[in-house]
Amino acid sequence: MREFDTQTFRLAVAQFDQAAEAMELDHNLRERLKFPQRSLIVSVPVRMDDGRVEVYTGYRVQHDSSRGPTKGGVRYHPDVNLGEVAALAMWMTWKCALTDLPYGGAKGAVAVDPAQLSRAELQRLTRRYAAEIFPLIGPEQDIPAPDVGTDAQVMAWMMDTYSQQVGYSVPGVVTGKPLSIGGSLGREEATGRGVTYVTIEALRHLKLDMRDCTVAIQGFGNVGSHTARIMQECGARVIAVSDVTGGIHNAKGLDIPELLTRYQTNGQTLRETKLGDWLSNDDLLQLDCTVLVPAALSEQITERNAAKLRCRILAEGANGPTTLEADRILQDKGVFIIPDILANSGGVIVSYFEWVQDVQRFFWKATDIQDRLQDILTNAFHRTLQFSLSRNTSMRMAALMSGIDKVAQAHLHRGLYP
């Protein structure tokens, strides 16, 4: 379908095709699972503070609902498009299946730069977007969550807009909300904590000690910042972090608590913190380190730079950060890859916990959430590792094949309607 034809969507489909071929997936199912079950494109008119009206384009894509309601974040980014949203929804389907969550994958987005909006404009945009996608969402249908450019406040506005439409409070319609309206402890840090948990298991598999581990992290938003903090708390030495402007490097290890204070609380840029030597994002990817965590946007590691990577473990905090060509180069180099649908699944797992708590009206302690998250991710990691070893295939293909198989089994048992 031409409307989905973007580089990110082609990557998602190429990964799927490779896994489907290896597992000899039924051709009828292959065609069905390549494209979303449902896609919605909406106009989002917003009255700006100066009185003029700007019209933005919004999306909500539901890839597959065979195993339960669909689940996925809402992204605010100026360069987002239907193909990218469809790819992210597909990856979310495999991610949920791989970790045994009773969800299918979805994704939403608005093509906008939220940094250019006032708080009032951001609220009006969010509420109008939520109203436009209202027919598709609901706690038993499709549950949005935060993503790039959105946060707990945006989710609160979406939850309130939906609740106003139905006439009563529905906290379970979104996850990643503030605690005061049904959010969950541990949700904000969940993806970064999950990256850390699977990295610990990879280090154990490779017989490496976390206390001797050096870590470089591309991206210092929600995922990257929490990964840095939790990795350091677990004994690793975080030697470099970066954001869209570039990064800082200190071979002796960065002071992450001080960095977070200056960067997040005091609003300094990474360069202004002066806690390390300045370097570019490309330079960061090529640092000599034990663990490299790409936690920014898709397709950062390509055939152009893959051979220059000097990490032992690549833990993919972002979605689709590595192209297929780069995959082959890294495998030949002996890099142990923890694929995105496993490495960054902590966010959707704790989103699932939040949804369960909202539905039950019964909330858990932070330690319960951390323990359950670690249990699910540890089991998923070792299932994937054993599949990889038994089938003599990469961790990425093992993860994809495991997730795809669970979705395929759901379709085969449910049959085709009508």
pLDDT tens track of the chain, all 418 residues?
678 989 999 999 999 999 999 999 999 999 999 999 999 999 999 999 999 999 999 999 999 999 999 999 999 999 999 999 999 999 999 999 999 999 999 999 999 999 999 999 999 999 999 999 999 999 999 999 999 999 999 999 999 999 999 999 999 999 999 999 999 999 999 999 999 999 999 999 999 999 999 999 999 999 999 999 999 999 999 999 999 899 999 999 999 999 999 998 888 899 999 999 999 999 999 999 999 999 998 899 999 999 999 999 999 999 999 999 999 999 999 999 999 999 999 999 999 999 999 999 999 999 999 999 999 999 999 999 999 999 999 999 999 999 999 999 999 999 999 9
pLDDT of residue 2: 76
CATH topology identical between 2-9+35-173 and 190-343: yes
pLDDT at residue 188 in the model: 94
User: CA distances (Å), 261 to each of 225, 268, 272, in order?
Assistant: 11, 9, 12
In the chain, domain spans: 2-9+35-173, 190-343
What pLDDT sits at residue 266? 83
Q: Which tokens is 302 given?
A: 């390509």
Which H or E element spans position 311? strand 310-315
Tally the residues of the chain: 418
Active site residues: 107
pLDDT of residue 389: 97
For the domain 2-9+35-173, what is the CATH code? Answer: 3.40.50.10860
Residue 99 · residue 91 · CB < 8 Å:
no
- pLDDT number for residue 297: 85
Q: Residue 138: which of 85, 92, 69 has the closest Cα? A: 69
Write the CATH number of the domain with boundaries 190-343: 3.40.50.720
User: What is the number of other CB atoms lying within 10 angstroms of the CB of residue 153?
Assistant: 15
